[in-house]
Amino acid sequence: MTGAHRALIAPAIATLLGVVLLVGLGDWQLHRLAWKEALIAAVESRVHAPPVAAPSEAEWPALVPSEYEYRHVQLAGVYDRDKQVLVYRALAEPRGRYGGPGYLTITPLRLADGSVVLIDRGFVPDDNKAAASRVEAGPTTVVGLMRASESRNWFTPADNPPKGEWFTRDVAGIVGAEGLTRVAPFIVDADSGPHPAALPEGGETILEFPNNHLSYALTWFGLAAALIGVFSAYAVSRLRPAAEDAAG
């Protein structure tokens, strides 16, 4: 092995590791693509299906979010306005006429058997926060989409229940703060009502999901190919002078 060949060992190993990493990232994006396409297909089928009865309390322990998210359901009960919370939300692309900074109105619905389901009755803008107090009196029927409890990320401010400051639709947090019992592990996003100007504004569930995983995968694969090309060019530039010297 010549000195030129030995000089290529470290760059070759680094290139191989880089290619393995980049190809792995591309493969991961392809798996994410399959997952996202399955999610979009499931959401489309569930959202546009006729509403069915919401799962009963006996079914709650066996529920899996991936199997029920966005299921169109119907349930009836009486709202408990005293246990209502408002979750801050800024609607950048509202589906209705209201948007911007405001609140999601989360109101417990007590069913006939005494169990409770949290209902997101819709959005109220910050300058009309008082509209959240408009709660239907007596028995009411809710039609909407089942949603899992909302998770928190690094940028989400901490909730402050004593001050009524909520930033996530955290079922367990709301249940604990409001002293609720026999509460479903999911939330139901109410559909939009017949009056476009009515508040709270239902039907604000996000139903469009960005799907850029294929382009991300191609980018990673392209970087892997480019890295191979760079190393190949470098190797040729180092080996050619050595070969010419040997021939001379």
Cβ proximity of 98 and 123 under 8 Å: yes
Q: Which of 74-83, 145-154, 179-188 has the lowest mean pLDDT?
A: 145-154
The pLDDT of residue 194 is 76
- Residue 223 pLDDT exceeds 90: yes
Q: How far apart are CA 79 and CA 190, in angstroms?
A: 13
CA angle 41, 70, 201 (to 5 degrees): 125
Q: Which has more pLDDT, 237 or 75?
A: 75
- Report, as an integer, the average pLDDT of 197-207: 86
pLDDT tier, 206 (very low <50, low <70, confident <90, very high otherwise): confident
pLDDT tier, 188 (very low <50, low <70, confident <90, very high otherwise): very high
Cβ proximity of 49 and 143 under 8 Å: no
Predicted TM-score (pTM) of the model is: 0.76
- Domain spans in the chain, listed from the N-terminal domain onward: 3-38+220-247, 71-190
The pLDDT of residue 96 is 83
Q: Which has more pLDDT, 184 or 48?
A: 184
* Among the listed residues 108, 115, 121, 49, the one whose alpha carbon sits nearest the alpha carbon of residue 79: 108
b/e per residue, 177-187, with b = 16+ CB within 10 A? bbebeebbbbb
Q: How far apart are CA 26 and CA 32, in angstroms?
A: 10
Q: How far apart are CA 50 and CA 62, in angstroms?
A: 23
Q: How far apart are CA 247 and CA 214, in angstroms?
A: 48
Q: Which has more pLDDT, 150 or 242?
A: 150
How is residue 9 written in tokens?
A: 């060992």
With tokens 């060992």, the residue in question is 9
How is residue 121 written in tokens?
A: 């009755």
Q: Which has more pLDDT, 205 or 88?
A: 88
- Report, as an integer, the average pLDDT of 95-107: 91
Neighbour count for residue 125 (Cβ, 10 Å): 19
CA angle 171, 177, 179 (to 5 degrees): 95
Average pLDDT, the chain: 89
DSSP 8-state symbol, 188: E
The pLDDT of residue 73 is 96
pLDDT tier, 242 (very low <50, low <70, confident <90, very high otherwise): low
Q: How far apart are CA 212 and CA 5, in angstroms?
A: 41
140-148 and 183-190 as β-strands: parallel, antiparallel, unpaired? antiparallel
pLDDT tier, 187 (very low <50, low <70, confident <90, very high otherwise): very high
The pLDDT of residue 245 is 59
Q: How far apart are CA 132 and CA 101, in angstroms?
A: 14
Neighbour count for residue 168 (Cβ, 10 Å): 19
List, for residues 133-180, the tens digit of each pLDDT value: 888 888 999 999 999 999 888 888 888 988 889 999 999 999 999 999
List, for residues 2-59, the tens digit of each pLDDT value: 666 777 788 889 999 999 999 999 999 999 988 888 878 888 888 888 999 999 999 9
List, for residues 102-141, the tens digit of each pLDDT value: 999 999 999 999 999 999 999 999 999 888 888 888 899 9
CB-count exposure of residue 204 (10 Å: 0-12, 13-18, 19+) = buried
3-state secondary structure of 238: helix
